[in-house]
Structure 1
Amino acid sequence: MTYSLDIRFKPLYEVISSLHAYICKKSHKKLDLTETWPKQARQRFTPELVEILDSLSIDGDWKLTYLLVFLCPNEDAAGFAEWLRGLTAGALYELMSPYGNQFPANMTVFRDRTAKLFELWDKQYFQHIDTALINRLDEDVRIRKQALPSLDPAQFVDETSNGLYFEPVKGLEKLVLMPQYHFQPFNVVHHYGSLTVCHYAARIDMDEDDFLSTHEYRMIRSVAERSRLKILRFLHKGPRSFIEIVRHLELSKGITHDHIAKLRHAGMLTAHFEGETLTVYSLRIGALAQMYGKLMEYIERAE
């Protein structure tokens, strides 16, 4: 691996994860959070916050918001808003220019709206979440940092991200991993020139009243379907592209994509990236073994 690897966490990262989970409406039914979470959260928002949230979408400006969160030296949403307001439009252009050439149509409007968004979201939602969640995310990074020196970097990324591989292509100099809870089971990956940032699903279950976690149930459910089993068997022969899998299944691209997504979220596949391009999928044999072990442990557990 020719690029440097870092893993880090601060509460601000989970602030944007929670915002992303709310804004990305097409994912609401697929989140580990309850389906009613967005509606319940919205009930305590002021009209001002609702108006800002309803104007947002997962677009280029939102990608730049993730970049600013990464570049911000402060730890939380209040610090982010204060830091952002202290930057002129010119300073923001200068700060972001090393990471690409796409900018908001009006930097001043973008700055002020983003600062207000994080300030309001923090007061009306994020300050009311269970503080144990932040401790769990911080602990996840601490444990993984301890394991990093003893693991192959590619293996570390694969295990941490639950199945991502970033090819060491020319131009990629740094990969940063950050855990997230609200947008589980998804990962959020952004590329900014020589920098790639991956907010990975930490697979944290805050309601641990059962033996199997939400992720472990997802692993078991993911293989309980004929087409997905066919995908796993096909990939056992080696990595395959999306189109190759479509042709093998003889299903539509949409249906095939849905099957692959369920296997990816369960950690059964590795998605291989070359820069911003997802090239092929491969089978994660270790995930199958892990699923079998958890299932047998559950079955054999004494009542």
Structure 2
Amino acid sequence: MDYSLDVRFKPLYEAIGSLHAYICRKSHKKLDLSPSWAKEVRQRLTPEFAQLLDNVQIDGDWKLTYLLVHLCPEEEVAGFIEWLEAMTAGNLYETMSPYGNQFPVQMADFRDRTLKLFDHWNEQYFRHIDPMIITRLNEEARNRKQSVSSIPTLELIDDTTNGLYFVPMNGLKQIVLMPQYHFQPVNVISHYGKVTICHYAARIYLGDEDFLTPHDYRMIRSVAEKSRLKILRYVHHKPRTFIEIVRHLELSKGITHDHISKLRSGGLLHAHFEGDTLTAYSLRTGALDQAHKKIMGYIEQDR
């Protein structure tokens, strides 16, 4: 394996994860959070800040915000704000340049906007979240990190991320995995030259315990459709690109994408990434075995 693996967590990572969950409006219906979560959060925000968030886009500047969070040595949002306030535009160019040659058009404006976003988000939402979220994410990261030296890298990445496969690339030195709660079941992947960062869905759920978790139900439901079974059969022997799957199913790209998304959320597919570019899909056989065990375990459990 040409790259190393690290697992990290600090509250700052979940701060940007929660902010991402809010501003990524097209994903709200896909998240494990309550369907009313975004609406409830908006009621906590000042009208001015809510309007500002409405205009934030998931674009190149937002990807660079994730990079800043990764590079910041501080643990908490307050520390990130102090660190960023002390940075000049020149400091930021120097700090970010080893990770690529794409920069905001106006670095000083980018810094000021990022400061405002994190300061207001922390005060109006993030510092009020259930502290158990941070506790559980810390535990998740600690347990995964302890496995880095004892479990093969590809196997650990696959199990941790629910099916991701990062293709070794020229110049790629490190994969960093960071557990996140708010944006479950979706993973957020960003590539910066020598490092690929994955904020992965930790499959942590608060509230009433159930024998089957939301992830388990999603895994079982994902195969209950003929076209999805055809996809699994088609990608069984070798990885297939999205276009190959579209042609095989003879369905529209939109419908095919929806079927693949369901299978990915259920963990039934390996998603092959080169950097942050998704190139192909293949069958994740172990997930089928897991689904069978979950179903039988539920059926056979004592009443």
For normalisation by structure 1, the TM-score amounts to 0.97
| Cα drift, residue 148 of structure 1 | 1.9
SS in 1 for 2:148: helix
Pairing 1:104-253 to 2, within 5 Å after superposition? 104-253=104-253
The equivalent residue for 1:19 is 19
- What is the one-letter code of the residue matched to 2:20? H
SS in 1 for 2:147: helix
| Cα drift, residue 54 of structure 1 | 1.7
- The CA deviation string for residues 130-162 of structure 1, in whole angstroms up to 9 with x for no partner, is 101101011011111122222110111111111
**Aligned residues of 1:81 and 1:116 also touching (Cα < 8 A):** no
Cα separation, 2, equivalents of 1:242 and 1:30? 20
- What is the one-letter code of the residue matched to 2:112? D
| Cα drift, residue 241 of structure 1 | 1.5
- What is the one-letter code of the residue matched to 1:191? H
Pairing 1:18-57 to 2, within 5 Å after superposition? 18-57=18-57
**Aligned residues of 2:84 and 2:111 also touching (Cα < 8 A):** yes
- What is the one-letter code of the residue matched to 1:71? L
| Cα drift, residue 229 of structure 1 | 0.8
| Cα drift, residue 169 of structure 1 | 1.5
- What is the one-letter code of the residue matched to 1:237? H
**Aligned residues of 1:100 and 1:192 also touching (Cα < 8 A):** yes
Cα separation, 2, equivalents of 1:274 and 1:240? 14
| Cα drift, residue 237 of structure 1 | 2.4
Cα separation, 2, equivalents of 1:276 and 1:125? 29
Cα separation, 1, equivalents of 2:169 and 2:54? 38
| Cα drift, residue 3 of structure 1 | 0.9
- The CA deviation string for residues 189-211 of structure 1, in whole angstroms up to 9 with x for no partner, is 00111111111010111124321
The equivalent residue for 1:71 is 71
The equivalent residue for 2:255 is 255
Cα separation, 2, equivalents of 1:286 and 1:30? 24
Aligned pair count? 303
| Cα drift, residue 275 of structure 1 | 3.1
| Cα drift, residue 116 of structure 1 | 1.6
- The CA deviation string for residues 96-141 of structure 1, in whole angstroms up to 9 with x for no partner, is 1111111112111111111121111111111111101101011011
Cα separation, 2, equivalents of 1:282 and 1:147? 25
- The CA deviation string for residues 203-231 of structure 1, in whole angstroms up to 9 with x for no partner, is 11112432110100100110111100111
| Cα drift, residue 52 of structure 1 | 2.2
SS in 2 for 1:148: coil
SS in 2 for 1:43: helix
The equivalent residue for 2:274 is 274
**Aligned residues of 1:269 and 1:281 also touching (Cα < 8 A):** yes
**Aligned residues of 2:196 and 2:276 also touching (Cα < 8 A):** no
Cα separation, 2, equivalents of 1:131 and 1:277? 34
SS in 2 for 1:149: coil
The equivalent residue for 2:102 is 102
- What is the one-letter code of the residue matched to 1:213? T
> How much is the aligned-residue C-alpha RMSD, in angstroms?
1.1
- What is the one-letter code of the residue matched to 1:162? N
SS in 2 for 1:150: coil
- What is the one-letter code of the residue matched to 1:8? R
Cα separation, 2, equivalents of 1:201 and 1:52? 27
Cα separation, 2, equivalents of 1:187 and 1:139? 19
| Cα drift, residue 76 of structure 1 | 1.1
**Aligned residues of 1:82 and 1:115 also touching (Cα < 8 A):** no
Identity %, equivalent residues:
66
Cα separation, 2, equivalents of 1:148 and 1:80? 28
For normalisation by structure 2, the TM-score amounts to 0.97
